[in-house]
Structure 1
Amino acid sequence: MRYIEDIHRKSKIVFPEYIDDYITEDNPVRMIDAFVDTLDIVELGFKNAVPQKKGRPGYNPKYLLKLYIYGYMNKITSSRKLEKATQTNIELIFKYFVSLLNEWDLFGKEIVAVDGSKFRACNSKKNNFSTKNLNRKIKYLEEKIEKYMIEIEKNDNTELSTAKPTKEEIQSKIKELKERKTRYEAYKKEIEKGDTKEISTIDPESRLMAVNNNGIDVCYNVQTIVDSKYKLVVDCDVINNPTDHGMLSKMTTSAKEIFEVEKLKALADKGYYNAEDFKKMRRTGSYNLCFKQIFSNATGESDFYLDKFKYDKEENMYICPIGEKLYFRRQKPIDENTKKIVYQNFAACGKCDFKDKCTKDKRGRRVRRSIDQDFLDRVDQRTAENKELYKQRQMIVEHPFGTIKRGLGMTYFLTKGMPSAKMEISFAFLASDFVNIT
């Protein structure tokens, strides 16, 4: 059997007559070309959307936009070009594309899934400051300044060696340390005003967040809502709150407006478990499936986790894992929106052989029940009854994140500020939806 023969470099070849013949019929660039041609670039705020009458002719902004979308789909990005692109309304372009997908009947409009993922911001951890690390840095600088002052005093009283730093060099170091200390103290005062709990000096809107493998980084929290039919992103948002609380109803409402439907079934993970948000969902006619978090006790003994305490509604009390009764004591406000009902029985706890496994409180175990717990119990029951439907959540919503992180190579932001980050992620999900439909 012969090998596949290649074309000899001195052979004559006949090229296609038209450039378009080089492009296969199913190539994604045809979809990009058709989509961008439908956009009104004047309305979208593109610079040079109308050609200038004088001077050298420029490139058509539509051509550049087509090139950029294609580049994003193939892991080719440029931070400078991207920064310039975010000055136009990329978010609106994404929403227009979603409306086209809606017209083409590519959304199921019944089941959606909501999820969030942390993307590293354009701000390193060393340029992020909180009260805790500022106190540590200021203390370190004070110790260094004191050490240098002692060194100057020693140099004044003894013969200097040529190997040691001179008095002028030490004074220069002290000046530098004092300037840094002054800067840190200014950051600390700004935090103490109460407007923010941390300061990021490169991208002021970014925040320190927990990421994978118990690490932390300066990030934005990217939110998506994805339709179940073809795993297409319906809408996205960028927030600097590390938690997902409050975003379930917001993202679902956005999807309802796009779909023009009265209700949706929304699937979400434990990070979205929030009574106030669930109530908003109910008021708007939609309902959610969301498993609750299981919180450990202070000792870490799983046999005495909160879920092991059974509530008796008729008697309004809790029964602990070994059968003792915890009675209602008071209602305790946690914050302006949250109140907890406290149950306890210190007399029983005082003589319990398992007290050290149950709590670290010397008096005994306290169980706190939300005033919305009856409502949350109904949500829990509904979720438990629809486990098979809930299992689809990961397959629906984590697919687009996998596409842009692994397929398109986007794991961090190139631009600064929440508006620019939102435009950048809109580009990414626009490319993701293109990938999924082509």
Structure 2
Amino acid sequence: MAHQHKRGIARTQTALLPAAVEDYVAAHSIVRVIDEYVNGLDMVALEFDKSVPAATGRPGYAPDDLLRLYLYGYWNRVRSSRRLEIECKRNLEAMWLMSQLAPDHKTIADFRRVNARAFQLMCAQFVQFLRGQKLVGGEAPVVAVDGSKFKASASKSSLVTAEQAAKQRQKIEQRIGQYLEQMDQADAQEDAEVEPSAERIEAALKRLRQRDQQLEQAQAELAAQGAGAKAKEERTPRVGLTDPDCVMLSGKGGATLAGYNVQQAVDAQHKLIVAHEVTTHANDRTSLEPMASQAQQVLGAAEMTVLADTGYMNGAQAQGCEAKGITPVVPMPEVPNTHGEAFYPKRMFSYDKTTDSYRCRAGEVLKRYKHDRTAETDYYWTRACAGCAHKARCTKSERRSIARSWYAEAAERAHERARGNATLMRLRSATAEHPFGNLKAILDGGFLLRTLPKVKGEMALGVLTYNLKRTLNILGIEQLMQKLRTHRTLISV
């Protein structure tokens, strides 16, 4: 007898299937964790929209049900409201989680759009749950700070400069003129057959005028920026037409993207995110103290160690951390020699704190000649450069000038801690980079929502999903669910 392939039963055959959806969901399914977690939330206290049912009108969907759906979606990398609508009708786990409710995609999308703040409060509350379970924090916690660029829901071409806005408006003006001529020709023909064409022209004109209005607003904003903070961070100020809050950022390999700079502070104990922030900063240089301070407050730690890479080296930030009982461990980047490779780098000049002066290779003393309050920097030089035998290797100018930040000592201390402890630097890499790899997967590398407040809410949803997943991996499903039940009982009491 010839071998045959394995085949299923006939689709028309009558079967005695389980009568309840409960029977289709495994005892250790992640939907049970999500359900247990959401059951313990106070939706009113977390400020979820429509937490209190309206006294009149058609009953709406409960926010806790929609939250369950979103957590399940982000857990499984299904973020689109249309795809979530489909999951409610075909996915047994989603049907169980939603008690077989199937909201339309607009209802699903609106819930995420209006509850940005609630997501942030919920994310912060879960970190406190982790702290209560002693999964983060402790007497002297170690936290790693890192940043990563996430793509906005906008293209690079939607970020325009003043010059680009002017050129686009000029082209739009020409197009509008062409369409108006076509409409005049259509009016002259007085033919019913040209009516559909005239309608299309009217629709095109409406779109062009809307675009022109956007560009006009962009020009006004760019003019108002002047030499503002945003203009200082970018070489060429830009305004987003699609997402007005996103900025042009430099990614890996020199590539650019329209997006946001996401900062996070990760507890080294279990790689759980204890603090995060969505920013529009072009780099990480001003983020060390804010992120470390936020993590310190969340963990309630009097003393804390913060680890960061060279992108965070900033003397003022390091000194600010030290003043709060936070020990920064940050290596200095390799500083290019601005005087050229043929000239002595700054490290070959030794600083003497007692005399507030530098000494060069020739043994000459460089004294302070300038105290710049704006740059918070002192400058040093010597008159002995003119006849020095080393001048050809030192500078092309009349004198070699050395700049020293007012916060140089704090920067040097942070660098020495990093240089003297390779183990901490390896810990930084292992701690900070792991969550971002997962977040990139959860958010598929970018945001779906636009404007900073909504993007912050979406990131909070992503961070909560990561922390919940990570906690499940640490504790296991049975222990996590038990702790969630116990936590809920303690709160209700």
Q: Which residue of 2 aligns with 1:371?
A: 406
Distance 1:270 1:341 in 2: 24
1:345-390 deviations in Å (ceiling 9; x for gaps)? 67358764854xx65x543542212233233322222222222122
1:167-211 deviations in Å (ceiling 9; x for gaps)? xxxxx9xx99x9999777645532337475232233222222222
Q: 1:16 deviation in Å?
A: 4.8
Q: 1:115 deviation in Å?
A: 1.0
- Indicate which of 105, 113, 134 corresponds to 2:162: 134
Q: Which residue of 2 aligns with 1:341?
A: 379
Q: Indicate how the Cα distance of structure 1 residues 292 and 200 shifts in structure 2: closer, same or farther if over 3 A, else same.
A: same
Distance 2:342 2:33 in 1: 54
CA contact (8 A) 1:82 1:424 kept: no
Structure 1: which amino acid aligns with 2:407?
D
Check if 1:432 corresponds to 2:472: no
- Indicate which of 76, 79, 92 corresponds to 1:77: 79
Q: 1:413 deviation in Å?
A: 1.8
Q: Indicate how the Cα distance of structure 1 residues 140 and 257 shifts in structure 2: closer, same or farther if over 3 A, else same.
A: closer
Distance 1:400 1:280 in 2: 26
CA contact (8 A) 2:131 2:137 kept: no
1:25-56 deviations in Å (ceiling 9; x for gaps)? 33222211111111111222333323445554
TM-score under structure 1 normalisation? 0.78
- Indicate which of 266, 288, 296 corresponds to 2:328: 288
Check if 1:412 corresponds to 2:452: no
CA contact (8 A) 2:319 2:411 kept: no
Q: What secondary structure is seen at the aligned counterpart in 2 of 1:379?
A: helix
Q: What secondary structure is seen at the aligned counterpart in 2 of 1:341?
A: strand
Check if 1:387 corresponds to 2:422: yes
Q: Which residue of 1 aligns with 2:42?
A: 40
Distance 1:183 1:42 in 2: 38
Check if 1:26 corresponds to 2:28: yes
Check if 1:327 corresponds to 2:355: no
Of 381-390 and 111-120, deviating more is 381-390
Q: What secondary structure is seen at the aligned counterpart in 2 of 1:70?
A: helix
1:73-115 deviations in Å (ceiling 9; x for gaps)? 1111136645532422110111111121222222143111111
Distance 1:93 1:286 in 2: 26
Distance 2:260 2:282 in 1: 8
CA contact (8 A) 2:443 2:462 kept: no
Q: Indicate how the Cα distance of structure 1 residues 140 and 41 shifts in structure 2: closer, same or farther if over 3 A, else same.
A: closer
CA contact (8 A) 1:311 1:317 kept: yes
Q: What secondary structure is seen at the aligned counterpart in 2 of 1:48?
A: coil
TM-score under structure 2 normalisation? 0.70
Q: Indicate how the Cα distance of structure 1 residues 366 and 137 shifts in structure 2: closer, same or farther if over 3 A, else same.
A: farther
Q: Indicate how the Cα distance of structure 1 residues 138 and 314 shifts in structure 2: closer, same or farther if over 3 A, else same.
A: same
Q: What secondary structure is seen at the aligned counterpart in 2 of 1:76?
A: coil
Structure 2: which amino acid aligns with 1:396?
T
CA contact (8 A) 1:113 1:228 kept: yes
Q: 1:306 deviation in Å?
A: 3.0
Q: Which has the higher helix share?
A: 2
Distance 1:310 1:4 in 2: 84
Q: Which residue of 2 aligns with 1:90?
A: 119
Count of aligned residue pairs for this structure pair = 401
Distance 1:261 1:350 in 2: 54
CA contact (8 A) 2:364 2:384 kept: no
CA contact (8 A) 1:265 1:288 kept: yes
